[in-house]
């Protein structure tokens, strides 16, 4: 809740006699530990005064309608209007519809993107939005109870049973990670499903030390240590569970990464790669070179690497992988897991003495690893690896910054692929509709920029939310890709140290299709929608 460039909200509230100066001082001390929380929300948490009086005063100061929102105030089915995912992202709850107007509560009415996104979504349904302000805690409480994501967790079990219930429910819901987080008033449990964090349960503060003790016990961690630790849970036969702990101001936070054992490697076409066998062969059946998968953390680079290596795997080839950790075991491969005493660079030196044909290197992290990988690619091997960059062309910049020479890049790098994971619309609840004029204009501008004509004669879909998709409107994810294959012209430009912007322009003229174009095609074929694509790529 911002003050719209007038005096600070706290001062205004003191002037009106709603709170005291000492209340504001307490709130500011609290804010040092929780800098993202706003003063109005903190005063409510601290119960500095009657919450109904407080929110009404905040509304008057900000010149906004205000309401102390409770579940009983919600007269409609939220999911008929926006997905639970959107509600969580923008801290917004529609709560009443009257004569074509719909009332929507926001935690922060100054967040223009949030307000405008929700307004346009509702306008597409023929509704005029009236915005209200309420406390963020009210919105969180309603969404947590409404989503019902903790329905399978036994909150009344003993500590061992509770943790077992949390983990098994995460497995059932396809979660990749479990976050167990000490907060000021209790312990919060969240699941990461399809890349998004979803609240699963809230537990009283009195159970925190017992839960942390149990997690350390089953993860083989030191009970007394409160510094960061790593451990593993091996009591679930179908999963490897990596555990990381980190102390925060309210206790020790745990993140559990769930890795399914013996999981089948998915075909690269299943992952979303264009259904073009010739393109795949041209991009990845190589020798004496390096191919790189580029994307930020959590965008499926390793999964794509596994799919490619599985595609290349045959008895006549010696394929060795160097990973941290080995996530999927593949028959016929020599898979090496590095440990705290080794590095990718040291392991790669050893592997080069093992007569490999193809080397999968989990990640190029530093200049030493990059240099040895380049040498491997120049001496008869084919190297596949990953790197953290925003797109396929920026791989060149990243390697340059690591100290790799332009000669080595131009002579060794053969294919650069960038990718993102977008959520698939849930087939059970997605709602079909026409494109809005605004959506058509956005897509047409992208088409004009990249000289692509998109067919907008079909329909698009809104994410709604149902039990099958955990009320998010989306179920599972799919990759969108861009592929840069370095031809002689681009190799020459790299060797001559030409800027990346010029290399990108040349690539575009020669058929390089950027990530956003593949994403728009996924919107048009109904796999995802523009809203999700924008969340991933920020296109408007």
Residues 85 and 213 in one domain: no
Residues 159 and 136 in one domain: no
pLDDT for position 104: 97
Report the distance separating Cα 528 and Cα 119, nearest Å. 21
> Does residue 90 belong to any structural domain of this protein?
yes
As a whole number of Å, the CA-based R_g of the chain is 26
Residues 133 and 152 in one domain: no
Report the distance separating Cα 322 and Cα 346, nearest Å. 10
Residues 339 and 408 in one domain: yes
| Three-state DSSP class for residue 281 | helix
Tokens 């964090």, located at residue: 197
Structure tokens at 428: 């059970």
Any idea what the CATH number is for the domain that residue 94 is in?
A: 3.30.300.160
Residues 379 and 254 in one domain: no
pLDDT for position 77: 84
Residues 71 and 132 in one domain: yes
Residues 125 and 192 in one domain: no
Residues 246 and 384 in one domain: no
pLDDT for position 348: 92
Look at residues 121, 143, 165 and tell me which one is the last residue of a structural domain.
143
Report the distance separating Cα 118 and Cα 383, nearest Å. 46
Report the distance separating Cα 323 and Cα 501, nearest Å. 33
- Per the CB < 8 A criterion, the answer to whether 201 and 167 are in contact is no
Residues 39 and 54 in one domain: yes
> Does residue 351 belong to any structural domain of this protein?
yes
Considering only CA atoms, which of 264, 1, 325, 21 is closest in space to residue 139? 1
> Does residue 313 belong to any structural domain of this protein?
yes
Other beta carbons within 10 Å of 486: 24
Report the distance separating Cα 64 and Cα 59, nearest Å. 5
> Does residue 399 belong to any structural domain of this protein?
yes
Mean pLDDT taken over the chain: 91
Q: Could you report the per-residue pLDDT of 302-361, keeping only the tens digit for each?
A: 999 999 999 999 999 999 999 988 888 888 899 998 887 888 899 999 999 999 999 999
> Does residue 454 belong to any structural domain of this protein?
no
pLDDT for position 325: 81
| Three-state DSSP class for residue 65 | strand
pLDDT for position 152: 64
> Does residue 242 belong to any structural domain of this protein?
yes
Q: Could you report the per-residue pLDDT of 106-165, keeping only the tens digit for each?
A: 999 999 999 999 999 999 889 999 999 999 988 987 886 654 444 567 776 789 999 999
pLDDT for position 3: 40
Any idea what the CATH number is for the domain that residue 246 is in?
A: 3.30.450.90
Residues found in the chain: 540
Residues 335 and 203 in one domain: no
Q: What crossing angle do the helices spanning 530-537 and 515-524 adopt, rounded to 10°? A: 160
Residue 319: what are its φ and ψ, rounded to 5°? -110, 125
Any idea what the CATH number is for the domain that residue 316 is in?
A: 3.40.50.300
Domain region containing 341: 277-423+477-512
Q: Terminal CA-to-CA distance of the chain, rounded, Å?
A: 24
Look at residues 229, 260, 291 and tell me which one is the last residue of a structural domain.
260
Mark 283-318 as b/e (b = at least 16 C-beta within 10 Å).
bbebeebbbbbbbeeebbbbbbbbbbbbbbeeeeee
Q: H or E stretch including 253?
A: strand 251-260
Domain total in the chain: 3
Report the distance separating Cα 178 and Cα 191, nearest Å. 5
> Does residue 471 belong to any structural domain of this protein?
no
- Per the CB < 8 A criterion, the answer to whether 515 and 504 are in contact is no
This prediction's pTM: 0.72
Residues 289 and 382 in one domain: yes
pLDDT for position 65: 96
Residues 106 and 92 in one domain: yes
Look at residues 201, 230, 260 and tell me which one is the last residue of a structural domain.
260
> Does residue 35 belong to any structural domain of this protein?
yes
The stretches in the chain having pLDDT less than 70 are 1-6, 144-152, 156
């Amino acid at each position: 809740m911002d003050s719209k460039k007038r005096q600070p909200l706290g001062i205004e509230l003191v002037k009106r006699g709603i709170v005291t100066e000492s209340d504001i001082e307490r709130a500011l001390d609290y804010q040092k530990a929780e800098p993202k929380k706003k003063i109005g929300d903190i005063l409510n948490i601290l119960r500095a005064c009657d919450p109904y009086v407080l929110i009404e005063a905040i509304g008057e100061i900000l010149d906004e309608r205000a309401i102390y929102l409770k579940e009983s105030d919600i007269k409609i089915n939220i999911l008929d209007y926006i997905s639970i995912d959107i509600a969580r992202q923008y801290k917004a709850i529609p709560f009443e519809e009257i004569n074509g107007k719909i009332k929507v509560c926001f935690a922060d009415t100054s967040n223009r993107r949030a307000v405008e996104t929700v307004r346009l979504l509702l306008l597409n349904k023929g509704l005029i939005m009236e915005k209200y302000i309420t406390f963020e805690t009210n919105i969180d409480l309603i969404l947590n109870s409404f989503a019902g994501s903790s329905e399978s967790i036994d909150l009344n079990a003993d500590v061992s049973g509770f943790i077992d219930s949390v983990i098994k429910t995460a497995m059932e819901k396809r979660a990749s990670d479990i976050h167990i987080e000490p907060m000021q008033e209790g312990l919060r449990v969240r699941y990461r499903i399809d890349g998004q964090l979803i609240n699963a349960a809230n537990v009283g503060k009195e159970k925190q030390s017992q839960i942390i003790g149990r997690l350390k016990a089953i993860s083989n961690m030191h009970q007394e240590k409160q510094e960061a630790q790593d451990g593993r849970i091996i009591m679930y036969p179908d999963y490897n569970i990596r555990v990381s702990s980190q102390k925060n101001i309210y206790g020790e936070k745990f993140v559990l990464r769930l890795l399914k054992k013996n999981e089948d490697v998915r075909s690269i076409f299943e992952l979303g790669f264009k259904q073009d066998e010739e393109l795949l062969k041209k991009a990845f059946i190589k020798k004496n070179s390096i191919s790189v998968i580029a994307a930020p953390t959590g965008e499926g680079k390793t999964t794509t690497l596994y799919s490619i290596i599985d595609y290349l795997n045959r008895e006549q080839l010696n394929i060795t992988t160097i990973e941290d950790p080995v996530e999927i075991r593949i028959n016929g491969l020599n898979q090496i897991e590095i440990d705290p005493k080794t590095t990718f660079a040291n392991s790669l030196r050893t592997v080069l003495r093992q007569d490999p044909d193809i080397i999968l290197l989990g990640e190029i992290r530093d200049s030493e690893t990059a240099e040895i990988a380049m040498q491997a690619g120049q001496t008869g091997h084919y190297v596949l690896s990953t790197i953290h960059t925003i797109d396929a062309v920026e791989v060149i910049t990243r390697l340059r910054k690591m100290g790799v020479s332009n000669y080595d890049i131009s002579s060794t790098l053969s294919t650069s692929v960038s990718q993102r994971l977008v959520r698939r619309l849930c087939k059970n609840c997605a709602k079909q509709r026409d494109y809005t004029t605004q959506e058509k204009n956005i897509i047409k501008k992208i088409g004009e920029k990249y000289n692509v004509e998109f067919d907008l004669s079909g329909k698009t879909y809104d994410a709604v939310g149902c039990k099958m998709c955990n009320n998010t409107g989306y179920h599972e994810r799919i990759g969108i890709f861009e592929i840069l294959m370095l031809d002689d012209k681009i190799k020459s430009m790299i060797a001559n140290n030409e800027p990346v912007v010029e290399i990108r322009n040349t690539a575009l003229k020669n058929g390089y299709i950027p990530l956003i174009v593949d994403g728009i095609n996924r919107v048009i074929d109904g796999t995802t929608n523009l809203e999700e694509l924008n969340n991933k790529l920020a296109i408007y």
